[in-house]
Amino acid sequence: MPRESLLGLINNAALLLALALLYETLPLRKKSSSLPQQLVTGSLIGGIAITIMLTPWQFTSGVIFDTRSVLLSLSGLYFGFLPTLIAALIACLFRLYLGGAGALTGVGSIVIAAALGYLWRATLRRNQRTTPHWYELYAFGWVVHLALLAWFLTLPRGLAFPAIQVVALPFLAIYPIATVLLGLLFNRYDLRQRTEQALIDNEALFSAIFHINPNPMAITRLSDGVVLDVNKSFCEVFGVTPDKVKGQPYEQIQLWIEPHGIKELSQVIQNQGQIENFPLQLGMPNGEVRQFLYSAMPVTIQSQACLLNVATEITEIQRKQSALEQRLKELQVLNQVAFATAQASDEDQLIAQVTSILSNELYHEQCGLLLVDRKSDQIHHHPTYFVNHPIDLPSFDLDKGIIGQAVQSGQAILVSDTQQDDRYLAVVPNVRSELVVPIRIGTEIFGVLNVESSQVNAFTEADLRLLSTVAEQLAGAIERLHAQRREANQRRIAEALASSVIALNSYLDLESVFKQLLRNVRRVIPCDAANITLLEGNETQVVYMEGYETFGDIEWTRQSRLNLSTTPNYQEMIRTKAPLLISDTHASPLWRVFSEAQWIHSYLAAPICVEGEVIGFLNLDHHQANFFTPEHAQILGAFADHAAVAIRNARLFDELKRRLNELETINRVSLSLRTAHTPETLLPLLLDETLNALQTSCGAIWLTDSNRQTLQRVVARGWMNEISLTEVAIGEGLAGKVAQQGKVLFFEDLAAEVLKDHHSPTRIPLRWGGACFPITSGSEVIGSLCIALPPPRTLSKQECHILSTLAEIAAIALHRSQLLADLQHQAERLASLRQIDRAISANTDFYPMAETILQETQRHLGVDAMQIWTYEPQFGYLEFTAGSGLRQLPPPKTTYTIGEGLVGKIAASLQSLTISNLPQWLRQNACEGCEEYLEEGFIAYVGMPLMVKGRLGGVLELCQRSELSSLASNDPQWFSFAQTIASQTALAMENAQLFRHLNNTLMELSVSYDETLQGWAKALELRDRETGGHSERVTEWTLQVALALGIEKDQLIHIRRGAILHDIGKIGIPDAILLKEGPLTPQEWQIIHQHPIYAYELLRNIHFLEAALDIPYCHHERWDGSGYPRGLKGEEIPLAARIFAVVDVWDALTSDRPYRKAWSHAEAKEYLRSQAGKHFDPRVVEVFLELLEKHSSASTDKRLPHPRRSD
């Protein structure tokens, strides 16, 4: 670099430093700078820029370099927009003035530097900063000069790169450093300016706070204490002016109450350097003394060490605090008193605690309670009355002194000066103030709460309120203690009564109850001896006693039985039913004196009443006269009521226990019988539960057999099960007599009773007693329940009641089992009838029906054999139809005439015949043809006519080879079911006959219909000159094709009739057209085409031919829809008509006609194949040709062969 250029750069650096100096000395960048100041600043910066450009480093002609980039970039960064804009404009104008090849590049560099400086400034402000760090300044210099190097590319070609090579080093090495140094100078000046401004602001703030502070403040020199300044509050509070105190030493100001306080204060400040909240008393100009808290701290003002003094007045705060402390102390006293009253359990202890609280906390001279004694009309100091020095405290009359007046008036009295009050009675010397508060309990004054002091006006209204509250608390607590004392006494009585109640609930034996009862009575009513006496008729019996082992004669008391007529005390209580109090037994007419009871002088008793009746007495005795009181009598009455409850409960418990045992037994038996449904299962359960309930091992149950008039032993236990006697006649023995008489029979020795009836020794043990109870269902005795007990036991009333109930349960259970059995039989018989109904409904032939009837009847009626005979009226005899259970089936004789044999007799009489002993009956009655019954071995016989609509249809026979129990018992249900079976059999016969007759009629009618249709078809063939057999052939082949195509067989009858009548409509065609030999005209063909419609109109109103209309109406329809009369197409044409169309055309083609010869089979087949899908259904053609191939070999007829008929 040339020497001139180096000198220029140095000159530029000096100019930049001049800018820094201007920045420091002139207000160039204050935020509040006015517009003129900003204009001046911009002009100065522009002038410096011109000066810098006047000393440049010239690279070539018109191309110069200098430090204006540093100047203008820092101007934008530190001076803001307007000054930088003005400086940049001045620099740009001057550079243009200088001219040269680099003039425009120089202007651009000025703009770039200034703009980048301002943008960087904006970035700092967004980050809430005003001064950049050194590294930011360095980066800023690099960015600016890199941008300028890039801008140098705008120089003329040939100058740009050489210029960049020359200036790159100073631009990137020197200029950024210059930017950092100059920027740091600017930052330093900014910091110093902000610090100075902060100091100015703080001084202003301190001055404002100092002068407006409501607390007195003063500034003094630390060295000599001279007051430099005071604030307004100082002057107002202490009543001085600033001129009066400024310049004076602090201690000479007339404020100090105690001069030594200033020295103490100075010493503290010297030691600690400051002081905080030091309490002071300062005097006011009016002589008032106020309390302050003094604080001082060192400050430096104008390079002088000073003290800032602050005084905070606390006079009012201390007054409120003192009042608050006093109030808190009072509240603490009230709280302690409340706690003491709440916890107190003794009156004297409570008074001592309250006195201690008051004397310790508030009244330290004298305080305490004085109690009123109404009996002596005096006031006594309580032993805990507090005096701060020993002294004897006398009693005094109620009408004396201030205390006496307070008691008399019931009002509190506050005496401020006792020497000025004549009522004061001097008990303790040197008392000047007194406060008396009465303690009222209910309407009476219990005592007073008294405090005294040696000072005048020692007590205030607050003390009066406090002691009044304490007096109320004491009164409440003492009243509570009195109530508790009364309650304790009552509780003791109540506890004794409650204990008695507990005894009643805890003990079920009377001795334990009586023991607990007397113990509780003696707890609340003191006595020497006590006893409980119960009535037994007109005599008394002592059942429990206490105390007579010490007083009187215990044996005489225990064994004495007194008659009511000789004991007036008992007579009086029975009359009044109230307690009796005899204060002196030796002077009362209600007392009978016994030598063994002479010691008794006071007597108290109460009657024990149950449901209004006196059953005993509760007696108390004492050796001292007038010992018992009416209150004792009232209490004893309550205990007597408890004794009555005890006796009644014991009796109720015994009854309840008996009833509960009975219910448990009945419930257990009932539960056991629920699972049993037959006598064979329920009776053993019943007997076992009964024996278990009575705790015995022997018993039996007998049931009656009404047919044989006997009782059968069905179940037995113990030695009764070992007796061989298992059946007795009704009226014989204990069980038979019970069944005959229907009432309970008791026995003391069962062996003796049995010996009376049977006169033979038995295995029955001796002296076993018991009873037999009838088992009754409705009014009928159906059995007996017998129970035996081992000696010496006998049946109690409760056990008899249980046995009676169990006998009723047995009757109910047997009746229930019988009903269940009947219901099951009925259900089974109904099921059988249902089976027979189904057989009748499902069959048209009688024989399957008869098989079901025989099977179900034998199963439910229990017979060995059955026979069903059918009456044939056209022949006049009965014919064997069906039977079961016979040794020879069918029987040797299968027909009987009316009146012959048992069957003939029933048919002749039309009445049922019942024979319980058939051999005997046959010996007594002549019966032809009855030998077969004896050969079969039948004993019982029942025959019933089968009536069909009032006429004989046959006979039903029921036979048994042994005695039939149902016949012997004449069981109505058995006979009812047998009659129902007979009715069902007759109904089956009737249905079979009706169906047979109906079937014959239908067959005859169908034959008549078919013959009529055949006649119509023949008539049409003759009229139309058809070849013989045409109708028969097409009918048979149509049926064969229909079967091959899967048409149901029940539809074939309709297809057959339709085929026969296929041309029935030609009846309506005139003979001139129908028989015309030549060709027909179109009009004639139109008439011919009407014959299907004529057939439809002719047949549709004939019901049985309605289903056969498909072929007559539609056999001229074509598969492609070109047929007539309706033009049906494809499967719209009924299948029967499609079949018949193929068969009819085949027969027509293969038959000779007057107008042509018959076609060969081959020609006709080819025609059919060609018309398949046009005239004919292709499927029908295919099936027809297959059938034709099968049958062609069986016929040589060139026309349609007859197919083989199908079943």
Identify residue 315 by its one-letter amino acid code: T
Q: Which range (286-295, 990-999, 1024-1033) has the least confidence?
A: 1024-1033
Please state the rounded mean pLDDT for residues 489-516: 70
Cα–Cα nearest to 1092, from 1072, 1059, 1074, 1066: 1066
User: Residue 894: is its pLDDT beyond 70?
Assistant: yes
213-313 CATH fold:
Beta-Lactamase (3.30.450)
| 1060 contact partners, CB below 8 Å, separation of at least 6 | 1013, 1014, 1016, 1017, 1031, 1035
pLDDT-based confidence at 1201, cuts 50/70/90?
A: very low
pLDDT, one tens digit per residue, over 87-122 is 889 888 888 888 777 778 878 888 888 888 888 887
Q: What is the pLDDT of residue 1199?
A: 44
User: Residue 922: is its pLDDT beyond 90?
Assistant: no
CATH number for the domain whose boundaries are 328-484: 3.30.450.40
Please state the rounded mean pLDDT for residues 700-725: 78
Count of Cβ atoms closer than 10 Å to residue 130 Cβ: 14
3-state secondary structure at position 104: helix
Q: What is the pLDDT of residue 839?
A: 65
Q: What is the pLDDT of residue 844?
A: 62
Which token pair is 1189?
């191939």
Positive or negative, the Cα torsion across 47, 52, 54, 59?
A: negative
Q: What is the pLDDT of residue 1197?
A: 47
Q: What is the pLDDT of residue 676?
A: 63
Which token pair is 1039?
């049926």
Count of Cβ atoms closer than 10 Å to residue 466 Cβ: 25
Q: What is the pLDDT of residue 916?
A: 80
pLDDT-based confidence at 30, cuts 50/70/90?
A: very low
Q: What is the pLDDT of residue 1120?
A: 93
pLDDT-based confidence at 1, cuts 50/70/90?
A: very low
Cα–Cα nearest to 609, from 535, 664, 506: 535
Which token pair is 382?
């309580």
Is residue 83 classed exposed, middle or buried when 0-12, 13-18 and 19+ CB atoms within 10 A define those classes? buried
User: Residue 409: is its pLDDT beyond 60?
Assistant: yes
Strands (E), 940-1066: 940-948, 951-960
675-824 CATH fold:
Beta-Lactamase (3.30.450)
pLDDT-based confidence at 240, cuts 50/70/90?
A: confident
Q: What is the pLDDT of residue 1123?
A: 92
Contact 961, 936 (CB under 8 A): yes
Q: Which helix (H) or strand (E) holds 481?
A: helix 461-506
507-656 CATH fold:
Beta-Lactamase (3.30.450)
| Fold match, 675-824 / 1025-1192 | no
The rounded distance, in Å, linking the Cα atoms of 213 and 408 is 62
Positive or negative, the Cα torsion across 337, 342, 348, 353?
A: negative
**Residues written for the chain:** 1207
User: Residue 12: is its pLDDT beyond 80?
Assistant: no
The rounded distance, in Å, linking the Cα atoms of 1165 and 1150 is 10
3-state secondary structure at position 964: coil
The rounded distance, in Å, linking the Cα atoms of 772 and 192 is 137
Cis before 790 (ω within 30): no
The rounded distance, in Å, linking the Cα atoms of 1096 and 785 is 90
User: Residue 461: is its pLDDT beyond 60?
Assistant: yes
DSSP class of 173:
I
Cα–Cα nearest to 775, from 735, 746, 726, 748: 735
Contact 1026, 1153 (CB under 8 A): no
Order of all β-strands in the sheet with 710-717: 727-729, 710-717, 698-705, 780-789, 769-777, 745-747
* Residues of the chain above pLDDT 90, percent: 8
3-state secondary structure at position 954: strand
Please provide the DSSP assignment of 320-384 as one string: HHHHHHHHHHHHHHHHHHHHHHHH--SHHHHHHHHHHHHHHHT--SEEEEEEEETTTTEEEE-TT
Mean pLDDT (the chain) is: 79
Please provide the DSSP assignment of 252-278 as one string: GSTTBS-THHHHHHHHHHHHHS-EEEE
Reported as half-sphere exposure (CB side, CA atoms, 13 A), residue 1079 has a value of: 2
Q: Which range (345-359, 608-622, 788-802, 1131-1145) has the least confidence?
A: 788-802
**β-strands 769-777, 780-789: how paired?**
antiparallel
3-state secondary structure at position 891: coil
pLDDT, one tens digit per residue, over 523-567 is 888 899 999 999 888 889 888 888 888 887 888 888 888 888 889
| 335 contact partners, CB below 8 Å, separation of at least 6 | none
In order of 514, 579, 598, 604, 659, the CA distances from 531 in angstroms are 9, 15, 16, 11, 33
* Residues of the chain above pLDDT 70, percent: 82
Q: What is the pLDDT of residue 730?
A: 80
Cα–Cα nearest to 600, from 627, 561, 618: 627
Positive or negative, the Cα torsion across 804, 805, 807, 808?
A: positive
User: Residue 349: is its pLDDT beyond 80?
Assistant: yes
Phi, psi of 566 (to 5 degrees): -110, 10
| 292 contact partners, CB below 8 Å, separation of at least 6 | 279, 280, 281, 282, 311, 312, 313, 314
Please state the rounded mean pLDDT for residues 574-594: 90
Residue entry with tokens 């007195």: 216
pLDDT-based confidence at 1129, cuts 50/70/90?
A: very high
- Beta bridge pairs of residue 781: 776
pLDDT, one tens digit per residue, over 786-813 is 888 888 777 777 777 777 777 777 777 7
User: Residue 1133: is its pLDDT beyond 90?
Assistant: yes
Q: Which CATH code of 3.40.630.30, 1.10.1760.20, 2.40.50.140, 2.30.30.110 fits the domain covering 3-199?
A: 1.10.1760.20
Reported as half-sphere exposure (CB side, CA atoms, 13 A), residue 247 has a value of: 4
DSSP class of 1200:
P
Q: What is the pLDDT of residue 9?
A: 58
843-988 CATH fold:
Beta-Lactamase (3.30.450)
Bigger pLDDT: 493 vs 626:
626
Q: Which CATH code of 1.20.1050.10, 1.10.3210.10, 3.40.50.300, 1.20.140.10 fits the domain covering 1025-1192?
A: 1.10.3210.10
Cis before 890 (ω within 30): yes
pLDDT, one tens digit per residue, over 1090-1102 is 889 988 888 888 8
Q: What is the pLDDT of residue 1176?
A: 93
Contact 967, 916 (CB under 8 A): yes
Q: What is the pLDDT of residue 481?
A: 81
The rounded distance, in Å, linking the Cα atoms of 247 and 236 is 19
The rounded distance, in Å, linking the Cα atoms of 960 and 863 is 5
Distance of CA 258 to the CA centre of its chain: 84
User: Residue 611: is its pLDDT beyond 90?
Assistant: no
pLDDT, one tens digit per residue, over 769-790 is 788 888 887 677 778 888 888 8
Please state the rounded mean pLDDT for residues 190-203: 75
pLDDT, one tens digit per residue, over 1000-1042 is 666 666 666 666 666 666 666 655 555 447 788 888 999 999 9
What ranges do the domains of the chain cover? Answer: 3-199, 213-313, 328-484, 507-656, 675-824, 843-988, 1025-1192
The rounded distance, in Å, linking the Cα atoms of 869 and 880 is 5
Count of Cβ atoms closer than 10 Å to residue 322 Cβ: 10
The rounded distance, in Å, linking the Cα atoms of 1014 and 1010 is 6
- The crossing angle, in degrees rounded to 10, of helices 1052-1060 and 972-1024 is 30
